[in-house]
Amino acid sequence: MKAMVLAAGQGTRLHPLTEVTPKALVPVSGRPMIEYSLLLLKRFDIRDIVINLHHLGSQIESYLGDGTKWGLHITYSQEPELLDTGGGLLKAKRFLDDGTFIVINTDVLIDLSLSELIAFHNQKRAAATLVLRPDPLADQYGSMEIDSDGRIRRFLQARIATEPSLPTTKLMFTGVQILEPRVFDHLEQAGAARKFSTTKDTYPRMLIQQERLFGFHFDGFWQDLGTASRIKEAEDSLAAGRATLHYL
């Protein structure tokens, strides 16, 4: 299985740090944050990885090289123009379209069993499985709802019909997902648009078209690393033993 780590963002919420350092290389407990995603993938023997680059991308490429230091094989997808998640995935299609693949945001710290995620995805015969978690601020960041089988019934404002008596659970996206190559058919429906979002554009459209979108309900440790305060929260949790990353 292959993977893509999304690392092209400008990291504006981490200014002034990211004026001279790409977000992916901002340290978190002594490691550049992108290392956590790479080590998680390696722990589950996913070693062929593509990383998209834009803001200060040459620093990321210089630091990681071809991945040999970590026992990985890393290639890069250069984005002279920032393409957002949908455009970035579509640009990397040639690397990813030969089988099931995982996508991880670089600014996510998560103690996740990828083998359990993959087994769930395969069992559900999903086109896309998003790792979702409960959060009291889910609506603020963009919530979705799954039924008791894990099928996504609402994605942001898009909804598919369900029986009124069927209970759903409101969750939010963690930034980790597993996809089938047929997702590229939906990405290509964006037409001439080069820059577009999977969560705002592609997945709501897939939901309405009755594609098999599933949510993997995750209750373990997760932390967004998008701001300095959230990085500190993660570092404090790890230092105090309130959180453990079993893949380290």
Q: What is the pLDDT of residues 113-152, one digit of tens each?
A: 999 999 999 999 999 999 999 998 888 888 999 999 999 9
What pLDDT is recorded for position 163?
Answer: 61
Alpha carbon 124 to its chain's center: 19
Q: Report yes or no: 73 and 48 within 8 Å, Cβ to Cβ.
A: yes
Residue 164: the pLDDT is: 66
Among 42, 162, 21, 67, residue whose Cα is nearest residue 10: 21
Mention every residue, 6+ apart, whose C-beta is less than 8 A from residue 210.
Answer: 160
Side-chain-side CA neighbours of 65 within 13 Å: the count stands at 6
In this structure, are residues 31 and 69 in contact, taking their beta carbons and an 8 Å threshold?
no
Give pLDDT, residue 243.
93
Distances (CA, A) of 126 to 26, 119, 164: 34, 11, 24
Instruction: Give the pLDDT confidence score for residue 117 in this predicted structure.
Output: 98
Helix segments in the chain, DSSP class H: 17-20, 33-43, 57-64, 84-91, 93-96, 114-124, 138-141, 183-187, 203-208, 228-239
pLDDT score at 141: 82
CA nearest neighbour of 131 among 152, 159, 148, 154:
152
- Under the banding of pLDDT at 50, 70 and 90, the label for residue 24 is very high
What is the average pLDDT score of the chain? 94
pLDDT, position 165: 65
The rounded percent of the chain whose pLDDT value lies above 70 is: 97
Give pLDDT, residue 191.
61
**Is there a contact between 245 and 35 (Cβ–Cβ < 8 Å)?**
no
Query: For position 4, what pLDDT does the model report?
Result: 98
Q: What angle (nearest 5°) sits at the alpha carbon of residue 173, between those of residues 121 and 219?
A: 75
Q: What's the confidence (pLDDT) of residue 140?
A: 82
pLDDT tens-digit readout, 212-247: 999 999 999 999 999 999 999 999 999 999 999 999
159 falls in which pLDDT band (50, 70, 90)?
confident
Q: What is the DSSP letter of 202?
A: I
pLDDT at 190 over 80: no
As given in the structure block, the two tokens for residue 130 are: 């998003």
| Mean pLDDT of the region 200-214 | 94
Alpha carbon distance 144, 130 (integer Å): 10
User: C-alpha 50: how far from its chain's center?
Assistant: 13
- Domains of the chain from N-terminus onward: 2-239 (3.90.550.10)
Q: In this structure, how many other beta carbons lie within 10 angstroms of the beta carbon of residue 91?
A: 19
What is the average pLDDT across 36-53?
Answer: 98
Of 153, 136, 137, the C-alpha closest to 214 is 153
Please give the pLDDT value at position 47.
Answer: 98
